[in-house]
Structure 1
Amino acid sequence: MWKNGLKVAGTIGLSLALIVGCSSNDPNQGADGAEGGLSGTITIDGSSTVYPLTQAVAEEFMKENPGVQVTVSESGTGGGFQKWALGETDINDASRLIKDEEKEEAAKNDIEPVELKVAFDGISVMVHPENDWVDEISVEDLKKIWEPDSKVKKWSDVNPDWPDKEIKLYAPGTSSGTFDYFTEAIVGEEGASRTDFTASEDDNVLVRGISGDKYSLGYFGYSYYVENKDKLKILAIDEGEGAVEPTEETINEGSYSPLSRPVFIYPSNKALEKEEVQAFIEFYLENVKDLAAEVGYVALPDEEYEEGKQAYEDAKN
């Protein structure tokens, strides 16, 4: 059983069985099968956690559809939804479910979300690779470190056996879905966090910060750890039943708790009226399982992908 709402009833999965019309041996033939192919632009923004996966899909899609320009940006899940709700983007990457207030803002512009779950991710807690005093940390200690008005300033404030050195903290910014999810899972309230940390919507900034300070600690999506294993040390998390390290297996089965979670893309109903967006979504669904593993995500079980086919078709129609 997923904890903290990880198993969301009714979440729309994806389908690997979708037929992609853009497949062709002719690089000039597009998704509609016509000579010359598709043309147009697709704009995507949102979660920095989901960014590497969507960017990988976009690059492959553009190889087969050179007439379509797909632009992928990362302003955080919340920041992306603000643009998406105004109709400024076609698709929003999200590391959490859309909020009711975000749906309401979108509805003012006759925009409705189409929710597609694409993979699993595990929010990972990182330290500097030269950190030799901690290999695992409890949820209780993480809460003590990150809660509002935390009294923890030094490692020794958490455990007297740890160094009498200031903890340098790094985390996603407050518009990030990862920030929302982590604070709810660890602190117990979404958005509740101490404020004296280095924040960035760009996880690469967090990687550089943590890897540059021996006494650092921070968190972000598992895929960024996979890309930077030589620069970071990952911690196992103990929720009370023994420490579990995030791996593809533990994230997929949910034993890496409470920080395993699904991630999503949200095309809008209006965006799905565009032929090039339809082609891109279908390509995404066809290829996401293989690409997920390549960029550090955990693919969904096959049945969850299959369940999404009819839901996507219904939304498109």
Structure 2
Amino acid sequence: MKTILIIVPNGGMLFEAAGIADILMRANLHLPVGVDQQRYRVSLATTQSHQVIHGQSGLNLLADFKLAELDPRAAWDTIMITGRGDSVEEGNMVIDFIKLAAPQARRVVSVCGAAMLLAEAGLLDGRRATTHWRLLENLQSSYPRIRVEGGPLYIQDGEIWTSGGVSSGFDLTLALVEEDFGFSVARDIAQDMVMYLRRPGGQMQFSRFQLQAASDAGPIAELQCWIREHLADDLAVEKLADRVAMSPRNFTRVFTRETGVPPARYVAEARLAAARERLEQSHDTLERIAQVTGFGSSINLRRSFERQLHLTPGEYRQRFHCKKLA
């Protein structure tokens, strides 16, 4: 029997835990004859002092266990954590548990922001990992020993698995099933549940870079607004530095300090964000979009999209175009 413990912190999206449990239970129905002893047995644990897990939707789940009452040294096959929780105390409870439980478990898995708890527990040091795209920079800056990757929906590094935001936990769970029972079982589950076994687009999170405003009102904040309104201009660092009457070296230092990113990256991300928005909300040709967003040509636009999103602009438009414009 493969025992799966899903730790569900309070206040999250309950469909993460419920969906993962459904996939694992569906796997039991597809197991070939003779492997019944390897079936999954799934248990939910809550970080609360009661067994009711409150979701942000207002719905509730009834947990099998209270985490505080479980022996962390019990031999679980796989331990999965589906979020960070509502409080520091709640997170610390999970961290303390997982530090003791991880050595006995065959696999430890995080979904969405739970990667922050694995990081704090030291389980991700020296490993590749991912999390929800909104938390990627926080994860990397807070835990520099982790090799954070922002693209994949999930990453396996040895016995530790991490996944991106929310539904990417389902992709990861199918991968766990495939590792345990092979391609055919995972494929059958995906077909039964009308899911992708392998999502198109390189299994990427379609993250949006946070174009963070400067920390203080002033020349840099004004320059950011100007950049977004003049994406087709020459936005080389030297040109931008001249605009705020600074040397290129000092400008780069000040801009990075106030916005958190170097100016060249800010420009690149601002152009990509603008191109994505036009693909989503207009019928403009690719050549026109490339011109007004500073890529210069549809070839450059395509190269950027394939490098950053693993999709062509046309494929991106097909997937995310606003239906009201159709």
Whether TM-score is above 0.5 comes out as no
Using the size of structure 2 for normalisation, the TM-score is 0.28
Using the size of structure 1 for normalisation, the TM-score is 0.29
Name the structure where helix makes up a greater proportion of residues. 2
Q: Which has the larger radius of gyration?
A: 2
Higher relative contact order structure (alpha carbons within 8 Å, sequence separation ≥ 6): 1
